[in-house]
Chain A
Amino acid sequence: MSELSENAKQIIAEHLPRYPSKQAVTLPALHIVQQERRCVSNKAMEEIAELLELSPAQINDTASFYGFFRTEDNPLGQKRIWVCRSLPCMLRGGEELLAALCEKYHIAPGETTADGKLTIELAECLGACDGAPCILLEDELHLRCSLEDVERIANEPNAPTKKA
């Protein structure tokens, strides 16, 4: 059975005409696979490689460079929350927020709760220093977050975001 969904294959095919090389579709392909499967398995890398006429090692070389992509033995939980620890957030409680979250969910940064619901990551500057401390839920920034805000966000993925 194919590891890539029909949707993923279609998105990869749609990206091909945008670039003069097939290899340039590597990041878009990795993104769509991880979005659907919460990781990029070895088999998925082989299938991406075949579609892009590369070796699986080339896909792995790129995927492993970006700490963003997860291997199959370490998939993401249903939600991924990044907590910024860079200087502007540190100055306004970012490290305290990260420590409190890790204590609350009994996991270290990078780990996923036992029920598979939540992955907490430490982030370097998320680009929302005007709203420090800030977090990222999947790809949405949430500014000026307290522990209570993050818990609420973790429980309701569609909660309205705080604007700058």
Chain B
Amino acid sequence: MSQTEFKPVLLGRIGKPDSQSLASYRADGGYEALAKSLKMANTEVIDLVKNSGLRGRGGAGFPTGLKWTFLPKDVQGPIYLCINGDESEPGTFNNRVLIEEDPHQVLEGIVISSFATRATTAYFYLRYEYGRCYRALQKAVDEMYANNLLGKNILGSGYDLDIYLHRGACAYICGEETGLIESLEGKRAWPRIKPPFPAIEGAFRRPTVVNNVETMACIPHIINHGSEWFQSMGVPKDPNNPRDAGSYGPKLYCISGHVNKPGLVELPMGITARDLIDQHGGGVWKGRKAKAVIPGGLSMGFMTNAELDTPLDFNGPGRVGCLGLGTAAVVVIDDHTSMIDVLYNSCRFFEHESCGQCTPCREGTAWSTKILERIREGKGKLSDIDLLMEIANSIGTIPGTTICGLADGAAWPIKTAINKFRGEFEEYIKSGQRSQSLALAGAH
């Protein structure tokens, strides 16, 4: 399918008048997928999602149907579905738009997924900052209860489900699935040591699935159109890599930073960063060139201008040294911007958001920020560059020194910035210049 003939799926109803209401959602065929699912066996729904090749849209790209099969088979007592609406990765806003503009699409996916996983309670964990989303969701959930789409005996099927909205309190770490569970339980959001994985012991020590909002929005379409339809979009499995699960389906790409038209677009997975920026982001602003581009949220690190023909599928960014596709949030940095200021901003973010549980992350994010502060003040030493790399190589789940991946996300911008822009760092330090943004004292 070429991009020109692609018709948006997940954003198909966005911009229509009254797109948030149950009446308009139903007029567009809404909840037909739910009615169809409830007539199937729950295992048939799981198989359909598994066969579609849908991979989680939250950042890690784990196959959704496979995740569902990790739940124990003969479990007595409750199973929980948690929806991760803590979208906080810098550059990422796709879930906000989905929820604000078409809450029923997401909620239908949640009911179907709950039915598939035999969950009878779903907790929708939503970051506090998304107040408008919260109100849109609450209104939609109320409409669902009033129309037998939630509560007891949904659509006469005998299946019962409650959905509760749970608001966060402004902490990035709640997007990590076990941090989310701890936060839901009323505790500090310290990620848990795994195993046990949430499927075995998650929320309230019960079997739990945690899924992303965009992942949920894909589910009704897979039920309606089938797994082959879903696999007709995107990038097939790499035949030379038996572990590749493919990059199928439509994907929301966020475009922000130095482009003429920041915004959200939906495309079959696999567009290159260059085409995304030029054809959908209106090109780099002010007639400038891109110096660096983040392919999928800040944690993924940087691509250079020469790497922009990389396809944004689950495998592409990794081939050029980035951590992965992440949230497919593309941030463009123009050639007038200092990579020292950009990396400082990144380190400061992760220092602010480190939960403090693991020493390598707490100290590594803080010291990398301090080193960059020193460089920005014109007092850096050339040895600071290797020191930053040493920190980056020592923190995270990849060297095996932390419980969760936050520190990997802190390390990747450092590694890619220094590997790909080392000359700029050396020149900056040698010149002894001070960052122009230090004048913005109030902001630091």
- Candidates B164, B172, B255, B442; contact of A109 at CB < 8 Å: B442
CA distance A131 to B100 in the complex (A): 15
* Contact in complex: A129, B169 (CB < 8 Å): no
A31, chain B: closest CB distance, angstroms: 6
| Chain B residues whose CB sits within 8 angstroms of the CB of A28 once the complex forms | 166-167
B127 (CB) vs chain A CBs: closest residue: A127
A-B pairs under 8 A by CB, number: 176
B189, chain A: closest CB distance, angstroms: 7
* Contact in complex: B91, A87 (CB < 8 Å): yes
Select the stretch in B43-51, B315-323, B346-354, B396-404 that faces chain A. Answer: B346-354
Interface check B93, CB cutoff 8 A: yes
Select the stretch in B54-62, B179-187, B231-239, B426-434 that faces chain A. Answer: B179-187
- Candidates B92, B189, B258; contact of A127 at CB < 8 Å: B92
**Which residues of A, 84-122, contact B by the 8 Å Cβ criterion?**
85-88, 90-92, 95-96, 98-103, 108-109, 122
B interface bracket (residues with beta carbon within 8 Å of A): 35 or more
Select the stretch in B5-13, B129-137, B151-159, B361-369 that faces chain A. Answer: B129-137
With A19-B204, A65-B189, A90-B345 known as contacts, the answer to whether A126 contacts B164 (CB < 8 A) is no
With A18-B164, A31-B167, A127-B88 known as contacts, the answer to whether A91 contacts B331 (CB < 8 A) is yes
| Chain B residues whose CB sits within 8 angstroms of the CB of A130 once the complex forms | 93, 254-256, 262-264
A132, chain B: closest CB distance, angstroms: 6
Residue with the highest number of chain A CB atoms closer than 10 Å, among B255, B257, B440: B440
- Candidates B134, B254, B258; contact of A139 at CB < 8 Å: B134
Q: How many residues of A contact B (CB 8 A)?
A: 56
* Contact in complex: B257, A92 (CB < 8 Å): yes
Residue with the highest number of chain A CB atoms closer than 10 Å, among B130, B256, B264, B346: B256
A107 (CB) vs chain B CBs: closest residue: B442
Residue contacts A-B, CB under 8 angstroms, 15 given: A27-B167, A52-B186, A62-B187, A86-B90, A90-B341, A96-B440, A98-B440, A98-B443, A102-B442, A122-B443, A129-B91, A129-B329, A130-B254, A138-B131, A161-B132
